[in-house]
Structure 1
Amino acid sequence: MENLQLDPVTEDEAPENAGIAEIANLVATGEMADAVVALDRLSHDSQVEAVASLSPELAANLMEHVVEASAVEIIDHLPTNIAALILDEVTSDHRADLIAELSEANAAEIIDQMTPEEAADARTLMQYASDTAGGLMITEYVSFQADQTVRDVIEDLAENADEYRHYDIQYSFVCDGERLVGVLPLRDLLLSKRATPLRDIMVANPISVLDTMSLDDVEDLLESHAFLGVPVIDAQGDLLGVVQRAAVEYARSEQQRSDYLKSQGIVGGEEVRSLPLLDRSKRRLSWLSVNILLNIMAASVIAFFQDTLESVIALAVFLPIISDMSGCSGNQAVAVSMRELSLGLVKPNEALRVWFKEISVGILNGFTLGLLIATAAMLWKGDVMLGFVVGFALCMNTMIAVSFGGVVPLILKRAGVDPAIASGPLLTTITDMCGFFLVLGLASLLLV
């Protein structure tokens, strides 16, 4: 018998292979948090290999715990037949989110190889925006017809126990054809006679939400009712799925995290350090490159007043203080506007009302901060005029910053531009330019 010659394992490959084996063991024993950390430590190619080596059920379980950006990258590089098998096992809402983020060609190929039922579900859910009830719902639920009996339900639950065990079932629903007509309390089901029709024990006309309802409205509904989930219907009243409280809470936290990343200039979705290097670089550079131009504009103001700065060198100490303090005040205003927009407490067309509220705070805070920095300048240099220049500049720039920070997110929202991306950098540029101009302009008039 001919001996097989195996290629020796290199030093670099050995830890990667050990990591793949460790992930398989952790997933098999249900230690998902540790499995996710171990997967994150591998190279991108090894991550793909590790997921491909698992059974579809275990791989799907792992993908539901991995950060979505990483899961998409991994699935996008799996063979389409393996990716299809894994996505068949992923819960419907998560499956739709993952497929929606894949490259268009790859998504189409994967869907074509999924089971017909799961593929149809995926196509349906992908039509909804992620922040609507339709985009948040799962299609794994248990429903029965109103003319069925308690015996029919109990027999069905026993017969399909293996399938239903994987559902996150909190409720059973009663339909007339496809139309939702009631919810079936488990207690009433167990205590009723076997021949009792479901329409006699169901809770009729249950609270439900339209598939087009926004995340904000679904969240408000769940806050006012102690439901673990709420059924989703279409305009005809047909039952489509279930939105769970946990899904709404997760969607809200993801939205807030996304807004934070955008505000820090990371564009294009969530970033984790296990993503490919070029993708990470592209997400950051997309806004950093624009920021260079904005900063050059701010720096040009200093260049214009170069002679003034050389004559009164003490001004160089106060320029970054005025710029930073005004930026902080403006960012506070941006944060409040972004929060109120997300909660629906303010509309994009209410810029004038928001400006009035912000300028009131800006006058008070600007005067206080200006007085503080003016006092510091006078104590340091013994120059009353220098104190007036820097104090007045900070006071005025604070009012400009809060006005801009409060109003611009609303204007951008109304124009269809994501305020989380643009508000911060634009605020920084405006406050820098105005602050530098106020300090150096006043100094040119009063100190030189």
Structure 2
Amino acid sequence: MAIEEFQFTESLEKQLSDLVQSDSAELIEELLENHSSGELARAISLLDEEERIKLIQLINSESAAELVEQLPTVQAVQLLEEAEPGQAAAIVDELPSDLQADLLSDLDSNDAEAILRLMLPNEAESARQLQQYDESVAGGLMVTELLRYPDHWTVAEVVHDLQTGSDEYRDYQIQYTYVCGQEEQLLGVLRLRDLLLGDRSRVLRDIMIPNPVSVSDTLSLAELHGFFQQHHYLGVPVTNEVGKLVGVVQRSDVDQAWIEQQDRSFLKRQGIVSGEEIRAMSLWQRASGRLSWLSLNIVLNLLAATIISRFESTLSAVIALTAFLPIISDMSGCSGNQSVAVSIRELMLGLVRPSDVFRVWMKELSVGVLNGSAVGLLLGTIAYLWKGNLALAIVIGSALTLNTIVAVSIGGIIPLILRKFGRDPAVASGPLLTTVTDMCGFFLVLSLASNFIEYLV
């Protein structure tokens, strides 16, 4: 039966489900080859758990590895968790070293160890070494599949090795060949054309480009992103603290990791605390992850409500204040979020550090005074034109001005303080800022109104 016979079914997921149910391994592999990663990710997410397990059992480990490479990390991890350890190990063996480490790190520790024990020894050792790195540094992003040769080798020896090891090297992402000393320190780099077109009798140390650009294995993702923005390299060698060549980090991998980090940060700001969720995950995983955020927000909102409750008499006397409370809270929150966004971005780019709190605060303070005065004057004017009460205009305008100054000050320094204490600024900055701006805004409006109550009623 040819794959074309399935082209008129309702959808790709239906085609895939039908093929899984009919044990059509060859047709499944053909189907997987002819669709994009986005289409496959959606189709697999709509299969039930039994079908996903059977899918992995039907296709060979090489095809399964190609599939895993195309899927979002959370979905790839889910497939490995559902597979038998032996099958999972065979799949992981076929993956690039950086992806091996990433997926194994995301798995339950017992599942990961079971897979590592069944992997090929050299692959398992490489994966264990890469797992020691954080996934957001060069060591966690690099691949260890590279071509390195001693500096005393001749071109002829290298060419012979390339020919005899062609099966192993075929899947390597090769742009350069690296030359190392006796202790595997990076000494130089060779272009493949210099090897293939050069004099076969020459020694590598005589034709290599010495002192090549390299990056430390502890360099952060933000710094790597900045590096590739400044240099047009496809990849760069990675060295450890003693100068030993440990891998190569590819521009494409850095770009992908950067995008994924932005996506996770966005989800965390929206209350998806794990930073990654798909609807194929279990109901409990999804609900519990969201509920922790919602529960926190209930507590924070109750704190703001206590401020209002203390000024019930003022609100009862000046009903017009209720129309301005949410405006002041929201406007100040917007200003604060602008400061949070700038601070998080500068932290990611390495432009500021937690020790720069005072400098950042002074910068934000000046912006807060200027913008706060502008929006305070505008809202105060609106209040006067609406109610014709100058005292009300002064209370509303002053409250918004002061709360904006507070919001941008706190929004600028909260991410730095959180980073200093090892917390994720993207997760905690939002609720902290919202709580403070709400409480402070309500307090400023109602306390000022209480002091000017005789002019407001």
Same fold? TM cut 0.5: yes
- 1:79 paired with 2:84, answer yes
Question: In 2, are the aligned partners of 1:40 and 1:274 still within 8 Å (CA)?
Answer: yes
- After alignment, is 198-207 or 14-23 more displaced? 14-23
Distance 2:86 2:28 in 1: 22
Asked whether the 8 Å contact 2:226–2:349 carries over to 1, the reply is no
3-state SS in 2 of match to 1:241: strand
Measured in 1, the distance between the counterparts of 2:96 and 2:180 equals 23
The answer to whether the 8 Å contact 1:144/1:153 transfers is: yes
The aligned counterpart of 1:405 is: 411
* Equivalent residue, structure 2, for 1:97: 102
1:30 positional shift: 6.0
Q: Give the Å deviation of 1:430.
A: 0.7
Task: Note the alpha carbon deviations across 1:204-227, whole angstroms, 9 max, x for none.
Answer: 232222323333443444344332
2:197 counterpart of 1:197: no
In 1, Cα distance between equivalents of 2:168 and 2:15: 38
Q: Secondary structure at the match of 2:70?
A: coil
Partner residue, 2:116: 111
Q: How many angstroms does 1:355 deviate by?
A: 1.4
1:52–1:59 contact (8 Å) kept in structure 2: no
Q: Check the 8 A contact 1:137/1:242 in 2, yes or no.
A: yes
Deviation per residue, 1:293-341 (Å, 9 max, x gap): 0001101111222222222222221111111111001101111111111
Report 1:223-238 matches (<5 A). Answer: 223-238=229-244
Aligned residues: 436
Residue 16 of structure 1 and its aligned partner are, at CA, apart by 7.2
In the TM superposition, 1:159-178 aligns within 5 A as: 159-177=164-182, 178=184
Per the alignment, residue 124 of structure 1 pairs with 129
The whole-number CA distance in structure 2 between the counterparts of 1:344 and 1:28 is 41
Counterpart residue number, 1:264: 270
* Unmatched runs of 5 consecutive residues or more in structure 1: 1-12
The answer on whether the counterparts of 2:336 and 2:412 sit within 8 Å (CA) in structure 1 is yes
- 2:55 matched to 1:55? no
Q: Which runs of 5+ in 2 are unaligned?
A: 1-12
CA distance in 1, matches of 2:399, 2:242: 61
Aligned-partner SS, 1:273: coil
| Sequence identity (%) | 51
Distance 1:91 1:172 in 2: 18
Tell me which moved more, 35-44 or 336-345. Answer: 35-44
Partner of 1:386: 392
* Residue equivalent to 1:133: 138
Secondary structure of the residue that 2:53 maps to in structure 1?
A: helix
Q: CA deviation at 1:415?
A: 2.1
CA contact (8 A) 1:44 1:276 kept: no
Shift of the 444–423 alpha-carbon distance from structure 1 to 2, 3 Å rule, reads same
**Structure 1, residues 24-62: CA drift from partner, whole Å, max 9, x if none?**
443233643322221123234433332333211111111
Mapped to 2, the partners of 1:376 and 1:311 lie a distance apart of 20
Alignment correspondent of 1:211 = 217
Query: What SS class does the counterpart of residue 350 from structure 1 fall into?
Result: helix
Pick from 398, 408, 421: which aligns with 1:415? 421
Tell me if 1:278 matches 2:297: no
- 8 Å contact kept, 1:23–1:39: no
220 and 326 in structure 1: CA distance in 2 versus 1, 3 angstrom threshold:
closer
Q: Deviations over 1:230-285 (max 9, x none)?
A: 11222333321111111222222222222222222221231222222211122222
Rounded Cα–Cα distance in structure 2 between residues aligned with 1:230 and 1:408: 34
Secondary structure in 1 matching 2:354? coil
CA distance in 2, matches of 1:240, 1:124: 10
CA contact (8 A) 1:44 1:275 kept: no
Indicate how the Cα distance of structure 1 residues 221 and 383 shifts in structure 2: closer, same or farther if over 3 A, else same. closer
Deviates further, 75-84 or 175-184: 175-184
Q: Could you say which residue in structure 1 is the equivalent of 2:18?
A: 18
Residue 81 of structure 1 aligns to a residue whose secondary structure is: helix
CA contact (8 A) 1:93 1:136 kept: yes
- Secondary structure at the counterpart of residue 134 of structure 2: coil
Equivalents in 2 of 1:306, 1:219: separation in Å? 53
- Alpha-carbon distance in 2 for matches of 1:168, 1:327: 47
CA contact (8 A) 1:377 1:387 kept: yes
Query: What letter is aligned with 1:145?
Result: P
In 1, the alpha carbon distance for the partners of 2:159 and 2:314 equals 87
* Corresponding position of 1:43: 48
Most deviating of 75-84 and 146-155 = 146-155
| 8 Å CA contact retained: 1:26, 1:32 | no
Residue number in structure 1 paired with 2:329: 323
Match of 1:107, SS state, is helix
CA spacing shift, 1:293–1:15, aligned 2, 3 Å: farther
Q: What letter corresponds to residue 113 of structure 2 in structure 1? A: A
Is residue 26–residue 34 contact of structure 1 (8 Å, CA) maintained in 2? no
2: CA distance, partners of 1:357 / 1:218: 27
Matches of 1:321 and 1:23, distance apart in 2: 57
Mean alpha-carbon deviation: is it higher for 78-87 or for 193-202? 193-202
Of 430, 435, 440 in structure 2, the residue corresponding to residue 434 of structure 1 is 440
- 1:374 shift after superposition: 1.5
User: Within 2, Cα distance between the matches of 1:444 and 1:331?
Assistant: 29
Shift of 1:152: 2.2
> Structure 2 matches for 1:21-32, cutoff 5 A?
24-29=29-34, 31-32=36-37
Stretch moving more, 207-216 or 97-106 = 207-216
Kept in 2, the 8 Å contact 1:44–1:274? The answer is no
My pick for the range that moved more, 290-299 or 159-168, is: 159-168
| Aligned-pair CA distance for 1:108 | 0.6
In structure 2, C-alpha distance between the alignment counterparts of 1:171 and 1:240, rounded to whole Å: 15
Q: Give per-residue Cα distances to partners, 1:163-218, cap 9 Å, x unaligned.
A: 22211111111223433222121221122222222222222232222323333443
Structure 2 residue identity aligned to 1:320: P
Q: Which has the higher contact order (CA 8 A, sep 6+)?
A: 1
Q: Distance in 1 between matches of 2:166 and 2:334?
A: 57
Instruction: State the Cα distance separating 1:135 from its structure 2 match.
Output: 1.0
Superposed CA RMSD in Å reads 2.1
Instruction: Verify the 8 A CA contact 2:328 2:400 in the aligned structure 1.
Output: yes
The 8 Å contact of residues 73 and 103 in structure 2, kept in 1 or not, is answered as yes
Q: Which residue of the other structure, out of 126, 148, 153, is the alignment partner of 1:148?
A: 153
Q: 2:262, 2:278 → 1: CA distance?
A: 16
